[in-house]
Amino acid sequence: MFGLLHTHRLVLRSCPEAGGGVESFVFTPEQPFEAKAGQHGILQLGGTVTFRGPVSKFTLDGAAPQVVMLAQGVGITPLRSMLAHAALSGMTIESSLIHVARVGHAYRAETEQWATTAAYPRHADDFRAAARPEVAGHRSPVRAAAAP
């Protein structure tokens, strides 16, 4: 919660298409600051924005060697960042990703490359069918992200 007391100025650099009708916003901080993959904050939008944060402990810190990641719609966003961090930092983690979206799957090309296994169903029934064996095969608790 204390992360909301910290403010950082970010400059909007680009808005690339992420797939499924979703656009990403790429910012550069005016001054470097620490954040972990999966954390979030509050933006006040414009060409230069104020970012309040980072907040949340939804990260891979302390994760088991095997993780199951479940997402719906734009709920893929923090999971994408965690998968990117794991791949780019050389983390040894086995990740199963299941991302359900009715229209296209934002970040599919990236997450498909970074996750150990990935499924991209379009309907809830297909999502449940894909998730059931993945979750059943793990003894550790499973964290999940959902879109607002």
Q: What is the pLDDT of residues 96-112, one digit of tens each?
A: 999 998 888 999 999 99
Q: How far apart are the first and last CA of the chain?
A: 19
Tell me, what's the pLDDT at 1? 46
The chain-wide mean pLDDT, for the chain, equals 86
| Long-range residue pairs from 20-29, CB within 8 A, at least 24 positions apart, any chain | 20/101, 20/103, 20/104, 20/105, 20/106, 20/108, 21/103, 21/104, 22/74, 22/104, 22/106, 27/51
Q: How many CB atoms lie within 10 A of CB 109?
A: 10
Share of the chain above pLDDT 70, in %: 90
Asked if 107 and 82 touch (Cβ cutoff 8 Å), the reply is: no
75: its two tokens: 């709920």
Q: Please say if the pLDDT value at position 4 is more than 80.
A: no
Please report the domains of the chain, with CATH numbers, ordered by start residue.
2-55 (no CATH), 66-136 (3.40.50.80)
- Measure the CA angle with vertex 137, ends 80 and 90; round to 5°: 40
Q: Please say if the pLDDT value at position 145 is more than 80.
A: no
DSSP for 89-135 reads: HT---EEEEEEE-SS--TTHHHHHHHSSEEE--SSHHHHHHHHHHHH
Mean pLDDT of 46-69: 87
pTM of structure:
0.74
Tell me, what's the pLDDT at 146? 43
